[in-house]
Homo-oligomer: A and B are copies of this chain.
Amino acid sequence: MATQNNAPAGGMRDFLPVEAGRRQAVIHTIQEVYRTWGFLPLETPALERLATLQGKYGEEGENLMYKVLKRGAKLDRALASDPRPDDLADMGLRYDLTVPLARVMAAHQADLPAIFKRYQIQSVFRADRPARGRYREFSQCDVDIVGVAGVDAEADVLGAAAESLCRLGFKQPDDFTLRLNHRQVLAGLLARAGIPEQLAGEAMVAVDKADKIGLDGVRRELAERGIAPAAGDTFLTMASDMSELASTKELLTILADWLGDSGPTGEGVADLKQLTDLLEAGPAAGRYRIDPLLARGLGYYTGAIYEVQFPDFSGSGGGGGRYDNLLGMFSGRSVPACGFSFGLERILLIMADRAMFGVGMERGPQVLVAQMDPAVAGHVHRAANQLRQAGLRTDLYPSAGRLGRQFRYAESQGIRYVALAGTSEAETGQLSVKDLETGEQTTLPLTDAVAHLKALLN
């Protein structure tokens, strides 16, 4: 018999208690903030019809998509006739949260508000080559406003994102920065630098790599993509000049000066002006900067674009933008929309690196109720129950036995306080509280012991 491989499948992960607790705490915090900002939850199935997913994610998406084998007679029929791979599958696994949102918009139009502010936190599946930090099942954490054309929507989305980060503990002004740009502004700058419109897409792909390959790298890549070196240099000089400006106000003045105030480019500058004004009224105040080198790889953005950046961490912790022509893919009805998506795995990584998870966040038990004598198990269970009713996370050692072993169990679980009740405590309705760190032990009437532990732990 072959040895069983008990590890999770390649690229998949088991989340043991500490990690699962952190994930649940972070997700819950984000959900609560989104709720407070008036966003509504949406959940879609892990499996979608293959036809829903196909043709939506480009060639790479087709290759990375997990497909579900047909079953029973349908599979037999497919196998009987020299099948192509797609004849064998009828569903695919969730690949992102945007295509399902578009499908929901088409399927449930009458049941959704005209302005739909939704959040959705679910896992997606991609058959990518596993690597450090790259998994085949990972969580996406999307917030979008559908049905609004103006940048009030972007301000709301970015305010909620900034507030989420603050609540997670990124409280200092330089704990994170929102980089802002605008597709039309970027297009205007590229045009002003002398890059022809038909090469603007190529140029954006090159600019998008600035984070990874530096400005010299972008210069080379622009040239490789057929852009005249002089034009590329002009663009990069403009971008550098802007980065040196002290304030958003100055930068916006220069942009208006260079790009004028008419047409899509002028509207882009006006959008950035209005958006930064609105951000000043909320939790993102002082936490953003306009970055002319922000491009966002995906082709579908049409207006403002943004990314969260953390100091000392390359890459982004989340991003998004306006995508006005995407959500009509199923309904045929174009609808303006903008959104933001957290890179949840990255946020968790940064928080772990910065030791931002307190014991409180992991929500492990705070008290262990130990058992010394099976004859008084009723008293002990009652004590545990009172501690729980008082809101203390209370583990109960599930059998009477040697205290040493129970203390070691508490220590292995990170529990500092042990509540004890033997025959004498049970007879007098008391409970002893032992602090494993100091060794101190106090015996009190049950109610007082509960209050004592509550005071110690709060």
Mark A residues whose CB is within 8 Å of B: 4-9, 12-17, 20-21, 23-24, 28, 31, 35-38, 40-49, 51-52, 63, 66-69, 71-72, 75, 79, 83, 85, 88-89, 91, 93, 103-104, 106-108, 111-115, 117-118, 123, 125, 127, 136-137, 145, 148-150, 152-153, 155-156, 159, 163, 274, 277-278, 280-283, 330-331, 363-365, 368, 371, 377-379, 381-382, 384-385, 388, 391-399, 409, 412-413
* Distance, CA A423 to CA B200, complexed state (A): 42
B63 touches A66 (CB 8 A): no
* Distance, CA A145 to CA B397, complexed state (A): 11
Known pairs A47-B125, A114-B409. 17 more at Cβ < 8 A? Answer: A4-B330, A17-B42, A23-B43, A35-B393, A36-B392, A37-B388, A38-B394, A38-B396, A40-B364, A47-B66, A66-B69, A69-B69, A155-B381, A156-B398, A277-B378, A281-B377, A281-B379
Of B5, B38, B382, which contacts A51 at CB under 8 A?
A: B5
Of B36, B43, B63, which contacts A72 at CB under 8 A?
A: B63
* Distance, CA A274 to CA B380, complexed state (A): 14
* Distance, CA A125 to CA B48, complexed state (A): 13
Tell me which of A104, A112, A371 has the highest count of chain B C-beta atoms within 10 A of its own C-beta: A104
* Distance, CA A149 to CA B374, complexed state (A): 14
* Distance, CA A331 to CA B4, complexed state (A): 9
A6 touches B107 (CB 8 A): yes
* Distance, CA A422 to CA B436, complexed state (A): 60
Nearest opposing residue in chain B for A149, CB measure: B399
Name the B residues within 8 Å of A111 (CB-CB).
Answer: 16
Nearest opposing residue in chain B for A277, CB measure: B378
Name the B residues within 8 Å of A398 (CB-CB).
Answer: 115, 145, 148, 150, 152-153, 156
Of B14, B37, B88, which contacts A108 at CB under 8 A?
A: B14
Name the B residues within 8 Å of A38 (CB-CB).
Answer: 365, 368, 393-396
* Distance, CA A392 to CA B45, complexed state (A): 30
Distance (Å) between the CB of A190 and the closest chain B CB?
30
Name the B residues within 8 Å of A118 (CB-CB).
Answer: 17
B127 touches A71 (CB 8 A): yes
Of B47, B115, B378, which contacts A136 at CB under 8 A?
A: B47
A43 touches B68 (CB 8 A): no
Distance (Å) between the CB of A218 and the closest chain B CB?
33
B45 touches A107 (CB 8 A): no
B412 touches A113 (CB 8 A): yes
- Interface SS, A side: mixed
Tell me which of A274, A277, A399 has the highest count of chain B C-beta atoms within 10 A of its own C-beta: A399
Of B79, B112, B385, which contacts A282 at CB under 8 A?
A: B385
Name the B residues within 8 Å of A152 (CB-CB).
Answer: 371, 377, 381, 396, 398-399
A-B contact pairs, 29 of them (CB 8 A): A4-B52, A4-B106, A5-B49, A5-B51, A6-B103, A6-B331, A9-B49, A9-B52, A14-B43, A14-B104, A14-B107, A16-B42, A16-B108, A17-B40, A17-B41, A35-B393, A36-B392, A38-B368, A66-B71, A67-B71, A68-B69, A69-B69, A113-B412, A115-B398, A115-B409, A148-B399, A152-B377, A156-B398, A281-B385
* Distance, CA A398 to CA B35, complexed state (A): 16
Distance (Å) between the CB of A159 and the closest chain B CB?
7
Name the B residues within 8 Å of A391 (CB-CB).
Answer: 36
Using A385-B283, A409-B115 as known contacts, say yes or no to A69 and B85 having CB atoms under 8 A apart.
yes
B9 touches A91 (CB 8 A): yes
Distance (Å) between the CB of A223 and the closest chain B CB?
34
* Distance, CA A137 to CA B123, complexed state (A): 14
Name the B residues within 8 Å of A379 (CB-CB).
Answer: 281
A377 touches B163 (CB 8 A): no
B8 touches A381 (CB 8 A): no
A79 touches B68 (CB 8 A): no
A282 touches B382 (CB 8 A): yes
B125 touches A394 (CB 8 A): no
Name the B residues within 8 Å of A16 (CB-CB).
Answer: 42, 104, 108, 111-112
Distance (Å) between the CB of A111 and the closest chain B CB?
6
Name the B residues within 8 Å of A396 (CB-CB).
Answer: 37-38, 152, 156
* Distance, CA A108 to CA B51, complexed state (A): 39
* Distance, CA A194 to CA B392, complexed state (A): 50
Nearest opposing residue in chain B for A390, CB measure: B36
